[in-house]
């Protein structure tokens, strides 16, 4: 399933939904449950409910507005330097263990939301990332069982204020300016993505390819990351983990490339759609 949060012209209250391929075209069906209901039973109940829709009465995808499909995560956990080709790009040492940091809830944005460049940072960078969502409470989970705790996958852009990030020496503030974590356009449940470690991942700036790699380049794979993070730290349904970015970021280019007002960034991951965000002056 492709899970979304959406509004319509007639109803401005955000609702959970599922994208459906129907004989009448691509539609969106509203579903019940809170935004962080991702357990196996909840997802099974959603699947069962889909057979009862009269698809002719459902709104078309192009007639709804999609929002961040994960509006209330308890934790936004990020992994740094986790693509081998990116580590080589920045001439860093391959890490011995995951580099973990976080972003705050004020960073959350959705597909087509505008990221505001308010002048706080002069060096705003993009980072296309594969993210995964926790489906059920995970604590001290083994690597072998880890994927049982994943609900699904989605595109993320780990927007980064590099000047702040480097000046602070630790990364949280430079990663956590308002709107610096766009997510979307939907969450694909894990049955839709048989192998999350073999997906093409791209970033385009104003239509120009800047990042183009494959999630097979991940140094620490998703089962290891979930097991590692759940060691002594309880992960809750709806928590999201951003797994790192491939090479081609603006900081690593010569000359360096920073996001400017009027730019449009697009993250595209195979099977997970396109996360598009314009950037504008504040």
Question: What does the pLDDT read at residue 243?
Answer: 98
Question: What does the pLDDT read at residue 90?
Answer: 78
Nearest to 206 by CA among 264, 162, 156: 264
Question: What does the pLDDT read at residue 91?
Answer: 79
Looking at residues 208-232, what average pLDDT do you find? Answer: 97
Average per-residue pLDDT in the chain? Answer: 96
Say yes or no to pLDDT of 246 above 90.
yes
Q: How confident is the model at residue 51 (pLDDT cuts 50, 70, 90)?
A: confident
Residue 67 structure tokens: 């929002």
Looking at residues 173-185, what average pLDDT do you find? Answer: 98
Over the stretch 62-118, which tens digit does the pLDDT of each residue have? Answer: 999 999 999 999 999 999 999 988 888 877 889 999 999 999 999 999 999 999 999
Strand stretches in the chain, DSSP E: 2-7, 15-22, 25-30, 65-67, 76-80, 99-102, 108-109, 115-117, 124-125, 128-134, 150-157, 160-161, 181-189, 200-205, 208-214, 240-242, 264-269, 274-281
CA distance 171 to 162: 9
Say yes or no to pLDDT of 53 above 90.
no
Class of domain 76-281: alpha beta
Q: How confident is the model at residue 212 (pLDDT cuts 50, 70, 90)?
A: very high
Looking at residues 173-187, what average pLDDT do you find? Answer: 98
**Model pTM greater than 0.95?**
yes
Question: What does the pLDDT read at residue 229?
Answer: 98
Domain ranges of the chain: 2-67, 76-281
Question: What does the pLDDT read at residue 33?
Answer: 86
């Amino acid at each position: 399933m492709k899970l979304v949060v959406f509004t319509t012209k007639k109803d401005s209250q955000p609702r959970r939904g599922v994208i459906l391929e129907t004989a009448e075209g691509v539609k969106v069906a509203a579903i019940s449950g809170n935004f962080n209901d991702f357990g196996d039973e909840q997802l099974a109940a959603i699947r069962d409910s889909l057979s009862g829709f009269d698809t002719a009465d459902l709104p078309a995808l192009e007639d709804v507005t999609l929002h961040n499909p994960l509006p209330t995560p308890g934790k936004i956990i990020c992994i740094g330097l986790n693509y081998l080709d990116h580590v080589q790009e920045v001439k860093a040492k391959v890490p011995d263990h995951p580099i973990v940091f976080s972003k705050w809830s004020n960073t959350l944005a959705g597909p087509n939301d505008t990221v505001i460049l308010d002048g706080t940072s002069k060096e705003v960078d993009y980072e296309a990332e594969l993210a995964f969502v926790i489906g059920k409470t995970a604590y001290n989970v083994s690597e072998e069982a880890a994927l049982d705790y994943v609900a699904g996958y989605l595109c993320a852009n780990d927007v980064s204020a590099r000047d702040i990030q480097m000046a602070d020496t630790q990364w949280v503030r430079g990663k956590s300016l308002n709107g610096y974590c766009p997510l979307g356009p939907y969450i694909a449940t894990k049955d839709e993505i048989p192998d999350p470690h073999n997906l093409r991942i791209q970033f385009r700036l104003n239509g120009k390819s800047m990042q183009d790699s494959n999630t097979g380049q991940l140094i620490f794979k998703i089962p290891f990351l979930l097991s590692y993070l759940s060691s002594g730290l309880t992960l809750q349904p709806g928590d999201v983990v951003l797994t790192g970015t491939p090479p081609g970021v603006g900081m690593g280019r010569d000359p360096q490339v920073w996001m400017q007002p009027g730019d449009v960034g697009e993250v595209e991951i195979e099977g997970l759609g396109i996360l598009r965000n314009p950037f504008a002056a504040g």
